[in-house]
Amino acid sequence: MTKADIVNEISKNTGIEKITVQKTVEAFMEAVKDSMIRNKNVYLRGFGSFVVKKRAKKTARNISKNTTIIIPAHFIPSFKPAKSFVNKVKANVK
Structural domains in the chain? 3-92 (4.10.520.10)
pLDDT tens digits along 39-58? 999 999 999 999 999 999 99
Three-state DSSP class for residue 76:
strand
Q: Chain-wide mean pLDDT for the chain?
A: 94
Q: What is the average pLDDT across 13-39?
A: 96
49 and 41 Cβ atoms separated by less than 8 Å: yes
Calpha distance 66→33 (Å, rounded): 37
Comparing CA positions, the residue from 34, 23, 25 lying closest to residue 6 is 25
Span 50-82, pLDDT tens digits: 999 999 999 999 889 889 999 999 999 999 999
- How far is residue 59's CA from residue 64's CA, in Å, rounded to a whole number? 16
pLDDT band at 94 (very low <50, low <70, confident <90, very high): low
Average pLDDT over residues 13-36: 96
CA-to-CA separations, 93 to 25, 47, 82, 87, in angstroms, rounded:
27, 18, 17, 10
What's the pLDDT band for 93 if we cut at 50, 70, 90?
confident
